[in-house]
Structure 1
Amino acid sequence: MPPRTDSRQRFLDAAADLFHTKSYHATGLNELVSAGGAPKGSLYFHFPGGKEQLAAEALTQSSAQLRDILRALLSDGDTDAVFAALEHNLLASDFQRGCPLATVALDAAAESEPIRQACVSGFDSWRAAIEEFLRDKGLDAERAARLSIVSLTSLEGALLLAKTQRDVAPLRTVAAHLRTTIERELS
């Protein structure tokens, strides 16, 4: 793998941003090069697999960042902080930024194994962070695993509805439901 450089990181950051808001197919190579602030040859130097490799690595980076945020927000035991951060992200971006993986997963994962694998790994890392939180709260491993899947899929669905409806109500509804569900599971 080529060494990490500023231009490599700029490409990753630009790609993560563009894929998050526009999708994989709606983002052109020239747009990625322009946003990365380096010549096209530099893109291929750092990402010999082209746009597909760049996308997979940008998704991996975005996933790790969100996983770390999830862990930090859940570390104090407050699920409301997660939903507040997601709501803020939606509102601050005028509903352009929901899940950093969902747009690309729906757009390109069926035709690209590296992109599909990056999405699988990312979603699983978020589910694992939720499962860890639930185990730390006292749920046994099996119940925590099941509830982490329900929690993540509910959160993903709420983000999709909120983004398409341009309204945070679905996110708030799911937050209230999950809070009740988790409290019931813990009692």
Structure 2
Amino acid sequence: MGTDSRERMVRSAVYLFRERGYSGTGFRDVIAHSGAPRGSIYHHFPDGKAQLAEEAVRYAGEFLNAGILAATEGGDAASAVDAFVGWWRQVLIKSGFRAGCPIVAVTVESNDDAPQLAAAAAAAFDRWQDTLATGLGNAGVPDDRAARLARLIVAAVEGATILCRAHRDVAPLDDVVKELKFYCADLGVGR
């Protein structure tokens, strides 16, 4: 029952949360999806589903943050927005609009019994915002403005992703990215 099965279970939880949500995903589902041995879930996650979800939120947050970081290294805000949105666009289309953000799914379904889930989600969103803000700052946006713009980007993209799932169309995401890029251009960012 090594680390490999633990990692497979965390990745499977991310995948399943983004399609089924937190409450719609059980340990059996994670075991079946990951192919991990049946007894391994309680071995690796003795504190139960909340522990698995917390680790899945961290994993998903770091995965997407790596993409944001790579996109912001060029100092072009428009490219960073494209990269952040491009991944979501691909996920939506490939899943037939069944998959969304696993972090949002856990956040909206978490409750007082597992406050660590909201804290893990907040940390992931903060990390994305910090990475975007740093990239915007490197592109010439003053720090306080960069922080607000980064929060706007994260909130707009996450909201657009939800609208895309509801409408089963990427138009909301395309509209949001177009407006964010216009906004960045108006600020003189990335030129």
Same fold (TM over 0.5): yes
Aligned partners of 1:90 and 1:96 also within 8 Å: yes
Aligned with 1:139 (options 138, 141, 152): 141
Aligned partners of 1:63 and 1:123 also within 8 Å: yes
**Equivalent position of 1:151 in the other structure:** 153
Aligned partners of 2:68 and 2:131 also within 8 Å: yes
Shift in alpha-carbon separation, 1:6–1:131, aligned structure 2, 3 A: same
Aligned partners of 2:107 and 2:121 also within 8 Å: yes
Shift in alpha-carbon separation, 1:111–1:185, aligned structure 2, 3 A: farther
Can you give the 5+ residue segments of structure 2 that lack an aligned partner in the other structure?
Answer: none
Map residues 32-47 of structure 1 onto 2, 5 A cutoff.
32-47=30-45
Map residues 32-111 of structure 1 onto 2, 5 A cutoff.
32-76=30-74, 77=76, 78=79, 79-109=81-111, 111=113
**Equivalent position of 2:11 in the other structure:** 13
Higher mean C-alpha displacement, 93-102 vs 129-138: 93-102
**Equivalent position of 1:173 in the other structure:** 175
Aligned with 1:184 (options 172, 178, 186): 186
Tell me by how many angstroms 1:86 deviates.
2.0
Aligned partners of 2:67 and 2:83 also within 8 Å: no
How many residues end up aligned between the 2 structures?
A: 185
Tell me by how many angstroms 1:98 deviates.
2.3
Can you give the 5+ residue segments of structure 1 that lack an aligned partner in the other structure?
Answer: none
Tell me the amino acid that sits aligned with residue 119 of structure 2: Q
Higher mean C-alpha displacement, 102-111 vs 8-17: 102-111
Deviations 1:81-140 (A, max 9, x none): 332332122111111222231111111255421111110111111111111111011011
TM-score between both structures, scaled by the size of structure 2:
0.89
Q: Does 2:115 match 1:117?
A: no
Aligned partners of 2:14 and 2:57 also within 8 Å: yes
Tell me the amino acid that sits aligned with residue 38 of structure 1: A
Between the aligned residues of both structures, percent identity stands at 33
TM-score between both structures, scaled by the size of structure 1:
0.91
Could you list the runs of 4 or more consecutive aligned residues of structure 1 that deviate by over 4 angstroms after TM superposition?
A: none
The separation in 2 between residues aligned to 1:134 and 1:48, in whole angstroms, is: 41
The separation in 1 between residues aligned to 2:90 and 2:107, in whole angstroms, is: 23
